[in-house]
Each structure stands twice: as structure tokens, then as C-alpha cells.
Amino acid sequence: MTTLAAAVASRLPTRWVGSAACALYPRLEPELARLADYCPAGGTAVDVGSWYGPWARRLAARCDRVVAVEPVAHLAQYLKSSLPGNARVVHGAATDREGTARLWLPEGDRGDRGLSSLTRNSVHAHSVEVPALTVDGLGLGDVVFLKMDVDGGELPALRGAEGVLSRQRPALLIELEARIQPVAPVVDLLSGLGFRGWLLPGREWVALADFDLAAHQARTEHLVHRGMLRRTLAPGGERSGTAADGDAPQRERYVNSVLFLPEGREPGYAREAAGA
């Protein structure tokens, strides 16, 4: 279902929508606002599924270099004209092979809603051919952070990045949604590579092993259908239970961003290492 805000946004200039997305996203995804908890300063960051660039823009201010990978042609062109000079934009879809692939989109959508995927699901109605690439094939060094938002194409994209993950051991933040694909195969793959998952459901990071992500997402899925603007301004219902230490109850949100760190690291490492 297309929200009113999404319908209006589709008629606005791309630069306006991009500016709004970059401004709102740290409220929608507080993991972005907590970048210093897990992304060391300097080095190279990779933003797979960059969309309008809210992550790439923040990463460009923290890292020496950013590579933004975006399969939607007009969004890739927008990123080239709007991101800072230390960002490189690659038009293509990350998967486990190079060549071309079919990118699926919802009806009436050119990719602006951020729901495009190489894996077709119930929201998709048509497809376009796009370049296919692997993260390993980008030939990057000194990768300190890798973010993936690929809406169901996680396993192939991760297999195409196993070299970077195994040799360079970056922090990895990946969107996982049980309503699109089972989460366990991704967690098992990354566990086999020596990574441990973390989540930010409130103010503190918690281990993925101690949090039932699928149950949480089933309980809060209704929040997804509110659209970005409404979710940003009114993120959810009150948490059950009483607040600790007299604090006001936190509003619950739909959590789909999972941070994976190499074994032995915990969120806060990057900030502590920088002396923050």
C-alpha cells in the first residue's frame, strides 16, 4: 500500500525528497545516529542499497572514503551529484555474481520507495535489468564498515562479500526482516564467519542471541505500514511495563537493523578507541 506521503514524494523533485530523507533518517533508524558506537573513524565504508544516501552522507563525514552501491539508475545519478567528494557511487545491485540481474519494483514505483529487490515478493509488480556486482569485486581495501539494505537479497549479497568480511573484519549493519526472508540463514552464515549480532531496541545495545527478533517484528509489523514520515514523528506505541529510574516509558519501534561485529568486539568499541 502506498502512503499519502509516498504518493506526494513521488511528485516532488528528487533533491527535495533526498534532503528530507537524510534529515529524517537518524530519527527513523537510531542506529545511524549511533554510528560512533561501531564504525571507526577513517578507512572505507560501503553502503549497499544507498537509496537517497542518508547512510552514505553520514559515513562520508566519518570515514575517509565511501562507496555507495545503488541499483536504481536515477537514484545512483542523484547520489553522484549530491554526495561529498570522498564518496564513489557505483550503479548496480550487489549479489554473488557479476553480470546483469532483474530488479523488482512495486507497481507505479521507479525505486523511490526503497522497496526494490532482486528477490521478488508480494509487493513487486514489474522489473528492470540492472548491472550485477559483488562487494569483493569492487577491489576495496581498509573496509571498516559495511551496510546492506537489499530487501530479501541478503544471502547472495553476503556471499559476494565473504572475502571482505573474512579478511578485513569490518562492522556490518544489515536490514533483516522475517516477513520477507527467514533470518536464521543469514545469522548462521555470519556466525560461521565469526560475527556476533547486536540490536538497538531502546537506549542500550543487546545481543541478538538474547532477543527474539522474529517475535518482535511480528508484534510491531503494523508500524511498517505507517510510512516513513509518520514513523519518524510518531514512532510507535508505549512499551509495556514501568520505566526504570523514573524515566518516561520509551516508545517501541519496529527494529530491522542488525549490527554484526567480529567476535571479541562489542558496540562502543569504536567510540572508546577514538577516546569519545
Residue 6 within a domain: no
- Half-sphere exposure at residue 186, Cβ-oriented, CA atoms within 13 angstroms: 29
Mean confidence (pLDDT) of the chain: 85
pLDDT recorded at residue 12: 53
Task: Inform me whether the pLDDT recorded for 228 exceeds 90.
Answer: no
pLDDT recorded at residue 275: 47
- Cα three-residue angle 56-82-22, rounded to 5 degrees: 50
Range of the domain at 146: 21-236+248-273
pLDDT recorded at residue 111: 86
Residue 11 within a domain: no
Confidence of residue 160 (pLDDT cuts 50, 70, 90): very high
pLDDT recorded at residue 5: 41
Tens of pLDDT along 16-43?
Answer: 566 667 667 666 789 999 999 999 999 9
Residue 198 within a domain: yes
Residue 218 within a domain: yes
Q: Look at the chain and report how many structural domains it folds into.
A: 1
Task: Inform me whether the pLDDT recorded for 248 exceeds 90.
Answer: no
Task: Inform me whether the pLDDT recorded for 3 exceeds 60.
Answer: no
pLDDT recorded at residue 6: 46
Residue 63 within a domain: yes
What CATH number is given to the structural domain containing 229?
A: 3.40.50.150
Q: Which helix (H) or strand (E) holds 20?
A: helix 14-28
pLDDT recorded at residue 109: 86
pLDDT recorded at residue 118: 92
Residue 14 within a domain: no
Greater model confidence, 63 or 273 = 63
Task: Inform me whether the pLDDT recorded for 134 exceeds 80.
Answer: yes
Residue 55 within a domain: yes
Residue 9 within a domain: no
